[in-house]
Structures are given as structure tokens and as C-alpha cells.
Structure 1
């Protein structure tokens, strides 16, 4: 059985509100166990014998059926979450900056994100083919060109972004 983190994209923003209890109950209809939601922002940890790809597919289907929206998730095994959190070169707490990890389910989209960041001289750090670490000034995340780029409609099926502190909490829940 593998421990997984399931990261939903775009919940509790833009009119799509999902209560943690409803999210947990929906995912518990899948072949998973030990389901736990974190921070009311679309973060779930669970255990399953499903493959990463099958858990992604089944999670998206269940969310679409139950909540009636076009759901997209990024699913990562616990070892991958641990690796990207450990390899992030930026601090979780900086007085002037937020550190983000944009997670990818498509390596080609990650490469396009990195190419864009470099074209505008934004410092990014690739964490394999799964994530990119970057920073934005506190209070300026929504205006960040990297945030705007990752929010393009064509990337919604392959990306989601989390604050590094959130990722650390997810990792703690995976280890529990």
C-alpha cells in the first residue's frame, strides 16, 4: 500500500467551495484508506493500492461526479513529496517572500513554465520533473507573472501551486 498526497486545483477559490468533510467522504468512496484532509484548501493524504495515475483518474472522476465541476488533481507518492520539500532551495519563512512549489502532472508543462520564468529572469528551481520552486513578494503573489502563467486555462489539468509551509504540513500528515 502506498501513501499518497492528492492536491486539488482551484477549490475554495473562484466559487468552487468544498467542505473538508465532504471531500473526505467523496474520496473514501474510492479504493483508499486513512483519508485525511488538511487546511481546507484541497490537500488530502491517503493510502491506496492504486497506481498514481489510477488514483488521479479516479479522484478527478469522483470529484466531478459529486461536486459538479471540472476537477483536476496532482497525485504524488509520499516519497516524492518528501524529496521535493527537502530539495527546495528557498526558505519556508522569509520576512518578505513567500516560497511556492508548483506541482506538475506533465513534464512538458513544467519545462514550459521554467522556460517562461527564465525568459523574464524570474529565479526558479526545478525539482525533477514534478515541481518547481519559486518565490513571490508577500502581498504580491496574485500579481506575480509566474502565478499568472500557471493559472492559464491550458495548464489547469496539469498544475497546482502550494506554499512551502503547506507542503511541509502535508508531508507531516503523510508521515503520521
Structure 2
């Protein structure tokens, strides 16, 4: 049995159709095992026999749209890839805290043309693009009321087939998949 995390884009827990119990119901209805949600931001872990991640993404997204009216993006990552990212700790020496918010922006597809900028604004430090995780790694300074332009830059540059999680959330997802 393969272990996966589905990272759903645009989930708002205040929307009754986007609550964890409804999300779990869609995944269970697809026949997945050991379905669980993590936090209230669109993180669903599950087990299934399938190995084709792009096909899983399409199948899950179609079901979310059909059953709950959720049109947003679905990105699937397998446990082994997420475990490898966490074990490698690409943020070595940095602590996730106010002023250094460690983020991972996952891309739906392989993006060999990705060239991360040195900086988009003074609040964002780009660590780099992680090929095996298919993700940008960044450190966001959120210690001021000013907001970073990085997320808007990502959307403008790469479209909607991306989603961002904190490294802390990625670690929690891996821990949930360990059980």
C-alpha cells in the first residue's frame, strides 16, 4: 500500500464544503484507506494501491469539484519524497519562527525551467529550487506588518498549479504518514 499526501489549494475552513470531515468523505468515497486530515488548510493523507501521482491528482480534483464544488488545485506527493525532504532538512540552521517563516512551495508538475530569483522583495529569501521535491524553498520575514510579494509573484510567474506549506506543516504531514 502506498502512502500519499494531497495538498489542496485554496481551502478555507470557514466554507462548510471545505471542512475536514467533508474532505475526508471525498477521499474515503474514492476508496482510499487510512484517510486523515491535518490542520484545517487542505492537507489530506491517505493510503492506496495506485502509483500514478498525476492520475491521482486528476481523480481527486475531479471528485472534489463534483462533490463539494472545490475547483482549486490538488498536488499529490508520496511519503518517500516528503520523508526525504524532511530528513535532508534543506533549512539547516534556520528555525521556523516569527521573522524566519520557512516555506515550501510545491509545483504540480516537474518544472526544469524554474530559475528562482535571488529575491522578489526584501522580506523573502529564496533558498532555491529543490528538484527532487519539485518545490521552491524560501524564508519569509513576517516580523513586520508589511506583506511579501512572493506569493503573488509565484502565481503570476507559474500559475495556479502550485501550493505553499510551511516546513513545519510538511514535517507534521510526514509524522502523520509515519503512523
TM-score bracket, normalised by the shorter chain, equals 0.7 to 0.9
* 2:8 alignment partner in structure 1: 8
Equivalence map 1:13-162=2 (5 Å):
18-50=18-50, 51-90=52-91, 91-108=94-111, 111-112=113-114, 114-115=115-116, 117-118=117-118, 120=120, 122-129=125-132, 130-139=134-143, 143-152=147-156, 155-156=159-160, 158-162=161-165
SS at match of 1:61: helix
- TM-superposed CA distance for 1:94, in Å, is 3.6
Q: Which has the higher helix share?
A: 1
Provide closer, same or farther for how the CA distance between residues 142 and 111 of structure 1 changes in structure 2, counting only shifts above 3 A.
farther
**In 2: Cα distance, 1:96 partner to 1:88 partner:** 19
Runs of 4+ in 1 over 6 A off after TM superposition: 13-16
- 1:20-40, CA deviations, whole angstroms, 9 ceiling, x for partnerless residues? 000000111113110000101
- TM-superposed CA distance for 1:168, in Å, is 0.7
Count of equivalent residues: 172
**In 1: Cα distance, 2:6 partner to 2:176 partner:** 12
* 2:171 alignment partner in structure 1: 168
SS at match of 2:60: helix
Segments of 5+ residues of structure 1 without an aligned counterpart are: none
- TM-superposed CA distance for 1:13, in Å, is 7.5
- TM-superposed CA distance for 1:73, in Å, is 0.8
Provide closer, same or farther for how the CA distance between residues 136 and 111 of structure 1 changes in structure 2, counting only shifts above 3 A.
farther
SS at match of 2:118: helix
TM-score (normalizing by structure 1): 0.85
SS at match of 1:56: helix
Contact 1:60–1:72 at 8 Å: present in 2 too? yes
Contact 1:84–1:131 at 8 Å: present in 2 too? no
